[in-house]
Structure 1
Amino acid sequence: MTQPDDSKALPPGVAALLARAADPGFESWHRGIVRLGGCTNPVHLVGSAIVADAVTGEVLRSYVPEDDGGRLLVACGNRRAAVCPTCSRVYRADTYHLVRAGLVGGKEVPAQVGGHPRVFATLTAPGFGPVHTRREKDGQVRACRPRKASDCCAHGAPAGCHVRHGEDDPRLGEPLCPRCYDYAGAVLWQAHAGQLWHRFVMELRRELARRIGVPREEFGEAARLSYAKVAEYQRRGLVHFHAVVRLDGPEGPGAPPPGWATTDLLARAVRCAVGLVWLPALGADVVGRRVLRFGTQIDVRPISSSDTGERLTSAAVAGYIAKYATKGAESAGAVDRRIRHARDLATLPVRDHTLRMIGTCWWLGGLVPFEPLRLRQWAHMLGYRGHFSTKSRRYSTTLTALRQARAEHRAEQQRAALGLADRPVITVGQWRYAGRGYGPEAALVAASVREGGGGHGA
C-alpha cells in the first residue's frame, strides 16, 4: 500500500525547505542566509567579483553567486527596529560606540576628551493643546489633568481628566479636545524642527562668546563646540531632541579647553540659548502668523567624567541616545512607509490623533505656500523631515568609519580563509540591484536565526 505523502500537509515554506535540504548546494545556501543574521528584508545583487594581486594585477580568485539564481544577498542595513530588528541592532551598537567615543575617547578620539565640559540636554516641543499624560510624584501616579468637573473648553469637552493613566493607556498623547488642538501649528513645528536645532547651535555659540566677552566670529579661536544628538518621538507625535554637547579647545577633542570653559558655564549657556531661538513659519496668509520655538521644558544635566557610581555616566548617555536612534515615527503610532495617495488615509492602521496629524500634513502639503516643506512626502513622519541622529564634524568618529572597519575585518577573515592573508590583494566587484526579500524557505531560516539571537556574521 502506498504511504501517504506527509509533505502535502506541511506549510509551503516548510515543504520547500525540506526539498531544498536535499539539494547538494544546501549548505552553501544555508550559510548565505545565516550570514545575514536574520535580516528581515535583504537586498539582492547580481554580478561578480575578483580578488587580484595588488602589485601584479594577477587574478587570484573569482566569484559568481551560484545560489538563489545567481544572486548575492546582503543585509538591508535599515536603522529602524520596526523594519529590521537585526540591522537596527548593528546601527544601535555603532551609534553607541560613536557617542561614547566622544565622551571617554577611543576610535581615534583621545582619552583626555573625558575631562572636557559635557552636558546632556533635552529640548522639547511646545504645547499645541492639552493632551492626556501620565504624572508621577513621589512614586505615586497622579491624576492626568485635575480640573473642576464643570470646567469645559469652548467646544463643550471637559477641560480636565482625573484618570490615573497606566503606562500602556492608549489615551496617552491624545488631545482632551481634538477641535481645540492646533494641528496646523504642530505639523509646522515638526517641519521646522531641524532648522530650530540648527539655529540653537548657532545661538549657543553666540551665547558662549557673549559670556566670555569675545565677538562671535572669534569664538572659534578660543574653543570648539561639538555635539551628537538624536530625535525621539513623544506620544503626542512631536519630536524632542536629546543631545550631548561638549566644549573642546580650538583644535578639537585633542586640545584642552580654555580655563573659562566649565560644565556649569556650558549648562547655563544651553538653557539661555534655547529660549532665544525662534523661527517664523511659512504660510502666514493661510494659517496665521506663527513664531516657532522650543518648549519651556528643558533638561540640562552634567555628564560624569567616570563610569563609576554617578547617576548620569558616559555609558548611560551613549546607551540612551543609541536606543532612540533606531526608532521612528512608528513609536508614536504612525506608519513606517510613505503615503502615496489621499485614499490611503482611509485605511491607515493608526489612532485618531495620528491620523489627524497625517491628514493635516496632506492638507497643508497640497497648498502652494507650504510646497517647500514637502509635507505630503513626510506625512508618514508626521511632518518631521530632519535626520534622526546627527553630530558635528569633530565630535568623534563617523558611522561610515565604523562600517568600513567592519568591512575590512570581514575582508581579512575572507583572505585568511583563502590563504591570502600575507599577500597584498584588492577586491573588485560589479554588482547591480535585483530585488529584495526572501523566498518561503529562506524566510524560515532567517526567522530561526532571529529567534536564536543571531547577529550579523561580522
Structure 2
Amino acid sequence: MTSSALPLAPETHKVSGTGASAETATGYWPWATPTGITRDPAADGWVRGHDPRTVASGRARAQDPDYPEWLGHVRAAASCKHPIRLAGQIHVNDADGNRMATIDTEDMPDGAIYTPCGNRRASVCPSCAEVYRRDTFHLIKAGLQGDRWGLPPLHEHIAIFLTATAPSFGPVHHRVVKIHAADCRRKDGCTCRASVCHPFGRTCPHGVDLRCGDRHKAADHQLGQPLCLDCYDHVGQVVWNHEAPELWRRTIQQVDRELRRLGRTHGVDLRRRYIKVYEFQVRGVIHYHALIRLDGYNPDCPAAIVPPPAAITRQMFADSVQAAFVKTAYTSAPHPANGDRGWRIAWGDKGLDLKHVNAPGSEVNLAQITGYIAKYVTKSTEVTGLSLRRVDDLSVQVHGDPATHLGRLIRACWDIGEHPDYTRLRRWAHQFGYGGHITTKSRAFSVTLGFIRMQRTIWRRTEGHPHTWDNEQTERVIYELGYQATGWISTGDALLANTAAAQARAWHQAGLDAIADELTARRTPAQPLAA
C-alpha cells in the first residue's frame, strides 16, 4: 500500500467522543506522551515510516468486513486532515410535508457523518485549502473572462491589477533582486543574487548602527526584522493593520468619485467592480492585491454588465485609480498612547504597483493573474514565522516577548486594545491587529463562493448529472445533526482514508491528462483574450 504524503491526523488535542479506539502517537501528534523506551524500528514493524500502532489500527480497519462501506461513507472527507463528525438524524418528507423516513447516524459506520473541516489555511488542512484556492481561482476567472454562470463575455472590459502597501514604520532587513537570471521561474524566493540590504545608514539614538551589508537569502530569518527594535513604530503598524479595511473602503469610494469625474468629462457613465485579497509581509503588516474591472452602464437595464465606452482608455482608468489612492488619507480615533491624538492612516509613499491585464505588450495575462491571486487565499501569518489561533490574558505573556519583533506587535495590540475604540486589536492580536476577511469583492464582479459550493454539491448529489437536480428536493430533507467530535477515530483510519483519496485523485488526474492530450491533438489556434 502506497500512502499519500499529505498530513493525516489533526493537530488539535483529542476531544471527548472520539471512540474507544482513539490512540496517540509520538512526534506528530502533540497530545502524545513519550514512553522513554528505545525500540528497534525494524523489530517493532515500522512500515514506510509509520508507527506500528498506526499500522495495526489500519490493518484492523481494513480487515473489517464493513471496510468498503466505511470507505465509501468517509469519501467526502477522506483527504481532510481533521474532519468534523456529526451525529443526529436525517428526516425525509413528501411533497405534503408528511414524514416518509428517518435515518439515524447510529446506523452508519462509526455512528457519525464525516464532513470536511473547510479550513482555508494550507498549514491547517492542505486538502480543504486546495478546494478553497480552486474555488477562488474560478471565481476570479469568471470575473475576468465571463461567459459562464450567467455572466456575459468580458473580453472587451478593461482590467488592472494593483498592489497597495503600507507605509514604512522603520528600517527592516529586506531582500531585493534587481536583475533575475534568464531561467529564473520564481520571482519570490528565488536563488538569484540579491542587492545589499542597507549599505548606508547612521547610528540611531539607541546606539544601533542602522546598516546591513549582507545579501540576504530567501529563507534568511533576519528578513522583516527591524534594524533597531526600539526605533521601530510597532504601535503605528498594528493600528494601521487595524484601520486597513476602513482605509480600503474610503479608497474605493474615492475611486468611484474619480470615475464619475472622468465620466462627466466624456459624457458617459462608468462602474467599477473589484476583488481583493490581503497578504502578510514578513515584517507583520498586510498589503492588498486587487483586480479592478471597469464596466459601462446601461440606463435601460441598470443591473446589466456591459463594456465601458470606447472613449475611455486604459491609461485614463489607471490614472483615476492612482489619483484615488494618493488622495485617500484620514486620522484614526484618538488614543492616550499617542497624546490623545489619532494616527494618520494612508497608503505607502512608494506608490501603487499597477499593471494592465491582457493589454497589448503587457506581461500580465488572465491565467497568470488569476493563479497569482488565488494562491494567497490559503496563507496567513505563516510568512512571519508565527502561527497562532487566539491570544488571551495568559498566552500574551508567552507570545508578547518584548525582546522580539513579533512579540512587540502582539504586546502592542494587547496594550492599545484596552481602549474602547480599539478593542478589536485584542481580538485580532494573533494577526497583528488585522481582522478583515481574506477575500472581498463587489457583488457584480463575479459569482460567490457559496454559489460555487452549491454547484459542486449538486454535481455530487446527482452523480454528474446536474440537469436532474430539483430544488424542491432540498426542502423535503431535514437535517437534525449536531457536533460530535473533530478528527479521525484512529491514525490508521486517517492513513487509509487519505491514501484512498490520493489514489482517487491520481486516477482522476490521469483521466484528465488523457483527455487533454487528445484535445490538444485536435485543437485549432485560439484567439487571444483582451481584457
TM category, shorter: 0.7 to 0.9
In structure 2, the partner of 1:228 is 275
Find the counterpart in structure 2 of residue 312 from structure 1: 364
Cα distance in 2, alignment partners of residues 74 and 424 from structure 1: 23
Rounded to whole Å, the distance in 2 between the matches of 1:267 and 1:256 is: 16
Taking structure 1 as the reference length, what is the TM-score of the superposition? 0.86
**1:50-199 residue pairs with structure 2 within 5 A?**
50-51=91-92, 54=95, 59=100, 62=103, 64=105, 66-67=107-108, 69-139=110-180, 140-147=193-200, 151-199=202-250
- Is residue 335–residue 350 contact of structure 1 (8 Å, CA) maintained in 2? no
Provide the residue aligned with 1:394 in structure 2: 444
Q: Deviation at 1:453?
A: 8.2
Secondary structure class of the residue paired with 2:154: helix
Q: Which residue of 2 aligns with 1:286?
A: 337
Question: Which residue of structure 2 lines up, in the alignment, with residue 303 of structure 1?
Answer: 357
The question of whether the paired residues in 2 share the 8 Å contact of 1:305 and 1:314 is answered with no
2:387 is aligned with 1:331: no
Structure 2 counterpart of 1:3: none
SS of alignment partner, residue 39 of structure 1: coil
- Residues 194-236 of structure 1, C-alpha deviation per residue, up to 9 Å, x if partnerless? 0111111001011122233379xxx9x8121100110011111
In the alignment, the residues of structure 2 paired with residue 160 and residue 436 of structure 1 have an alpha-carbon distance, to the nearest angstrom, of: 50
More moved, 341-350 vs 429-438? 341-350
How far has the Cα of 1:430 moved from its partner?
1.9
In the alignment, the residues of structure 1 paired with residue 91 and residue 385 of structure 2 have an alpha-carbon distance, to the nearest angstrom, of 46
Per-residue deviation, residues 127-175 of structure 1 (Å, max 9, x unmatched): 0000000022223421001116xx2111111111110000110100000
Determine the C-alpha separation between the residues in 2 that align with 1:268 and 1:332.
Answer: 34
Q: Secondary structure at the match of 2:244?
A: helix
RMSD: 3.2
CA distance in 1, matches of 2:470, 2:448: 29
% identical equivalent positions: 34
Cα distance in 1 between the residues matched to 2:416 and 2:503: 46
The question of whether the paired residues in 1 share the 8 Å contact of 2:171 and 2:227 is answered with yes
Offset of residue 80 of structure 1: 1.0
Give, in whole Å, the separation in 1 of the partners of 2:347 and 2:396: 32
Aligned to 2:461: 411
The residue number in structure 2 matching 1:41 is 82
> Which segment is superposed worse, 241-250 or 422-431?
422-431
Question: Is the contact made by 1:115 and 1:305 (CA closer than 8 Å) also made in structure 2?
Answer: no
Relative to the length of structure 2, the TM-score reads 0.75
Within a 5 Å distance, the mapping from 1:195-210 to structure 2 comes to: 195-210=246-261
Which string of whole-angstrom CA distances, capped at 9 and with x for unpartnered residues, describes residues 22-63 of structure 1?
322222222333431411121111122245555896837846
Which range moved further: 360-369 or 269-278? 360-369
Shift of the alpha carbon at 1:109? 4.7
Specify the code of the residue in structure 2 equivalent to 1:155.
H
Aligned mates of 1:58, 1:421 — CA distance in 2? 21
Residues 1:152 and 1:330: Cα distance change in structure 2 (over 3 Å):
same
- Aligned pair partner of 1:360 in 412, 416, 421: 412
Residue 19 of structure 1 and its aligned partner are, at CA, apart by: 2.2
Unpaired runs of 5+ residues, structure 2, are 1-42, 181-192, 509-531
Change (3 A) 1:301 1:364: same
Select between 352-361 and 340-349 the one with higher mean Cα deviation: 340-349
Alpha-carbon distance in 2 for matches of 1:173, 1:214: 45
Matched-pair contact (CA < 8 Å) for 2:75–2:501: no
Closer, same or farther: CA 80–348 of 1 in aligned 2, 3 Å = farther
Deviation per CA, 1:347-366: give whole Å up to 9, x if none. 68999222211111111122
For the residues of structure 2 that align with 1:356 and 1:406, how far apart are their CA atoms?
Answer: 44
Q: Which residue of 2 aligns with 1:244?
A: 291
Post-superposition CA distance 1:254-294 (Å, at most 9, x none): 31213333221111111111111112123343224321101
What's the CA shift string for 1:380-430, capped at 9, x where partnerless?
1110011110100100111010001011111112999xxx98998443322
Residues in 1 aligned to 2:98 and 2:313: alpha-carbon distance in whole angstroms: 56
Residues 118 and 128, structure 2, Cα contact 8 Å, conserved in 1: yes
Secondary structure in 1 aligned to 2:321?
helix
Measure the CA separation in 2 of the matches of 1:329 and 1:302.
Answer: 29
Mapped contact 2:89–2:104 kept (Cα < 8 A): yes
Which residue of the partner structure matches residue 277 of structure 1?
Answer: 328
The size of the alignment, in residue pairs, is 438
Name the stretch that deviates more: 230-239 or 14-23.
14-23
Q: Does 1:31 align with 2:72?
A: yes
Change beyond 3 A, Cα 1:432–1:406: same
Look up the equivalent residue of 2:287 and give its one-letter code. H
Q: 1:49 to 1:368 in 2, by over 3 A?
A: closer
CA shift in 2, pair 1:345/1:423, >3 Å: closer
SS at match of 1:136: coil
Residue of structure 1 equivalent to 2:374: 322
Greater shift, 423-432 or 249-258, is seen at: 423-432
Which runs of 5 or more residues in structure 1 are unaligned?
A: 1-5
Contact persistence 1:79–1:88 (CA under 8 A): yes
C-alpha distance in 2 between matches for 1:414 and 1:112: 26
Q: Is the 8 A contact 1:194 1:386 kept in 2?
A: yes
Q: CA deviation at 1:64?
A: 3.6
- 1:16 is aligned to 2:57: yes
1:93-120 CA distances to partner (integer Å, 9 max, x unpaired)? Answer: 0100001111111332544312111100
User: How far apart, in 2, do the equivalents of 1:423 and 1:272 lie?
Assistant: 47
- Report the Cα offset of residue 321 of structure 1: 1.0
